[in-house]
Amino acid sequence: MSHLIAPSLLAADFANLQRDVEMINASEADWFHVDVMDGVFVPNISFGFPSVAAVAKHATKPLDVHLMIVNPDQYIDAYAKLGVYHLTVHYEACDHLHRTVQAIHAAGMKAGVALNPHTNVNLLSDIIVDLDLVCIMSVNPGFGGQKFIEHTYRKVRDLSELISARNATTLIEIDGGVGPNNAQDLLSAGAHALVAGSAIFGTEDPVETVKLMKATTSVASA
Ligand code: DX5
Ligand code: ZN
């Protein structure tokens, strides 16, 4: 499988959201990454339902929704109704993660779990076979444009080993400070999907940047 690129709309121009959604529709990107923040789990507020619904109306690629909120369970059905493809919740925000993952699947969506930089990937060992995606946060969640945390490479390798050991088919997604400069190293470490906000929307030609990141290949480590 070729790797996947998910532009993060957090870095799009909110006053021209339809224009930016259509730009990504016309690009080689695979998913739209949509960051939902509640001002409680993270110190920032981003998209609410009306904005996600507006994105869903114009997007022609699957929505990869990243919930940075407390009590995500209460909104699962609402996201399912919007036609969301992946619904990702934070490990740190869920007391009953197994139940939450089951509820996401029961609502007809793929289930993802995001890990903050301090959370060890092995905490997912008992649930990994149930997960469609693990999102490794390579910055502390809440803001775009932050510096990539280098220990992420080791986390990707550890998670890859866990997935193989359990015969799981979980995709590894990396989110935060990702761009053409570190895409190859992340893919070589075992990542399948790369989220990029400022590295795509902050460039002169976002469509070209997506193309560049799609053309990146992993180099097998010796
Ligand atoms: C951060 C969000 C990211 C963010 C990434 O909390 O989860 O998806 O948009 O932005 P960049 O790529 O600019 O670091
Ligand atoms: Zn995100």
Matching residue, tokens 């002169």: 204
Q: Ligand 1: which of 92, 146, 152 to mutate, most ligand atoms within 8 Å of CB?
A: 146
Strand duo 32-37 + 63-68: pairing: parallel
| Pair 172, 138: CB distance under 8 Å | no
Residue 222 inside a domain? The answer is no
Out of 20, 38, 64, 175, the active site residue is: 175
Is the residue at 162 inside a domain?
yes
DSSP three-state, residue 149: coil
User: What is the domain extent for residue 99?
Assistant: 4-215
What is the model's pTM? 0.98
* Ligand 1 pocket member 140 (CB < 6 A): no
Res 108: pLDDT:
98
CB 36 within 8 A of CB 67: yes
Instruction: Please report whether residue 156 resides in a domain.
Output: yes
Exposed, middle or buried, 22 (CB in 10 Å: 0-12/13-18/19+)? middle
Asked, for residue 198, whether it belongs to a domain, the answer is yes
195 lines ligand 1 (CB under 6 A): yes
In a domain, 127, yes or no: yes
Can you give the CATH number for the domain in which 158 is found? 3.20.20.70
If one counts every other C-beta atom within 10 angstroms of the C-beta of residue 154, the result is 11
Given 20, 30, 35, 132, the catalytic residue: 35
- Cβ–ligand 1 contact at 176 (below 6 Å): yes
For ligand 2, the distance from its centroid to the CA atom of residue 222, given in whole angstroms, is 31
Q: What is the pLDDT along the chain (222 residues), one digit of tens a residue?
A: 799 999 999 999 999 999 999 999 999 999 999 999 999 999 999 999 999 999 999 999 999 999 999 999 999 999 999 999 999 999 999 999 999 999 999 999 999 999 999 999 999 999 999 999 999 999 999 999 999 999 999 999 999 999 999 999 999 999 999 999 999 999 999 999 999 999 999 999 999 999 999 999 988 654
**Which among 21, 31, 62, 36 is positioned nearest to 173, based on CA atoms?**
31
119 within domain boundaries:
yes
> How many domains is the chain built from?
1
Give a yes or no: residue 61 inside a domain. yes
Quick check: is 35 catalytic? yes
- Between CA 186 and CA 206 the distance in angstroms is 20
Confirm whether 95 is a catalytic residue. no
